[in-house]
Chain A
Amino acid sequence: MSAVLTSGLRLELDRIRLSYTGDPVVDGLSLTVQPGEILVLTGPSGCGKSTVLRALAGLLKPDAGRVLADGELVTTTSRDRGMVFQDSALLPWRTVRSNIELALQLRGAPRAGRRERAERWIDEVGLTGFADFLPKSLSGGMRQRVQLARGLAGAPRAVLMDEPFGALDAKTRNAMQGLLIDTWQAHPTTIVFVTHDVDEALALGDRVAVLGRPGQPLRALLDVPSPRDAEVSRTELRAEILGALHQ
C-alpha cells in the first residue's frame, strides 16, 4: 500500500463555488480526496457532480474557494489529473492504438517504444486484435475500454471519471467495473468516480460522497467497509445512501 500513498494525488476542495452562467451549481463545498483512494461522488441529478469533476480537472475555474492538488493551487489542466468521459471522447480519426499513443505523446514519452506500450495497454483492457480499428467500428463498451486505457496510459496521479459506464448495459457495466478495479490495482492512482448508480458506488468506492443542492453541505460522506469485496453484504449502507439521495 505504500506505493499507493506515494503515487496518488491528494485533492482538496476548499469552500468552492462553481457556475457556468448564472446561478451557482455548487456552492460552499469542501471535500478532501485521500491519495490512492477511490472516492465515489453521487447525488440527485443536477446537483453538480460533473461540475465538481471539471473543477478538479482544471477545466472550470471556481468563482470562489480553492481547488488544491497535493497542496498546490489548481489553475489549469495537467497530465497529472486525467479524465475519463461518458462516451465519444475518443478522437474519431485516430485508431484504438493511435488514441492511446496520443496519451503517451502528450505526456512526453519518447517516440520509440510508444507503439509497444500502447499495444500492452490494448492487451490489458482486453482489446487484443482491435488496435487498427477506428472508434466508429467499436461497441460502446469497447470504446470505454479504450478510454480507460487512454486515461491511465499517461500515468496520471489522479483520474477523474464522469459516469464512464453510464451508457452501458448492466452486464457490460459489471465487466467494466471489474476491469477498472484490476487496472487500478496494477496502476495505483487516486480516482474520483461520478455515478448516479448506488450499486456501482458500493462496488467501487473506498468512500461515497452524496452531494446536496447548491449551498447545502454534503448530505453524506460514508466509509465503505472492506471495499470492493463482492462477498460483503452492503444492504444497510445502500439504504443509508438511498436515504441521503432522496432527502
Chain B
Amino acid sequence: MAIGTLPNRSIGHGRHAGHDGRGAGAGGDHPSGDTPGGAIVPPRAYVTGITVALGAVLMFFMALVSAYIVRRDMPLSGWLPLAVFPRILWLDTLLLLASSFTLSRARRLLLAGRDSGFRFWWKITAGLGIAFLAGQLIAWRELAAAGVYLATNPSSSFFFVFTATHGLHILGGIAALLWVMFRRPRRLGLATATEVAAIYWHFMDGIWLFLFSLLLFAKA
C-alpha cells in the first residue's frame, strides 16, 4: 500500500472547523442504537476495509499455494496427478468469469440511475455464483465417484482444500450480493455497498483463475 497516496487533510480555521465531509452532526443515518450520533464512518473506509481484508485473503491463499508447490516438488512426495480432472471446472470458470461481467454491468446501470436494470443484473450475478458452487459440488462428486477423496493423494488433498476454501469465500460473496439486494444497506449507501461487493467478487474471481490454472498446469 503506497503510504504517500493517503489523503492529507488541510487544517480548518478554528477548533470547530473541518467536518471533513463525513456528515458529522447529521447523525440520523445511523441504524446501530449504541453508536454515537455523530460517529459517521466515511464511505471510503468501507472500500479501504475490503481492500485490506483482501490482503489477508491473498496471504491465506498464497500460504496454501506455496505449501502446494513445496509439497509437490519434495523428494519422495508420493505425488500422483489427479486420476480424473473434472471437465465441469471449465464451465465453472466460464460462469465465474461471466459473473464478473454481469456485476460490472449491474453497477454501471446503478450509477446511471436505472434501478430495475441494476436489480436484474445483480440477481443474475448472484445466480451465476450459485451455479458456480453447484458446479464445484458436481466436480467433487465426479472425483468421489472415481474413488478420489480428500486423503487419497496430496494432489487430491490440495484440490479439495483449494476448492473448499475458495468456495467458502464465494459463498460469503453470494451472501453479500443478496444482502445488498434485499436489505438495502442504509449505513454505507448503495453505491459504496455495491463497490465493496464488486471489489471482493472480482478478486475472488481472480483467485479462482489463479487456482484453476495452477491445477490445470499440474495436470499436464
Interaction A to B: no
Interface, chain B (partner A; CB < 8 A): none
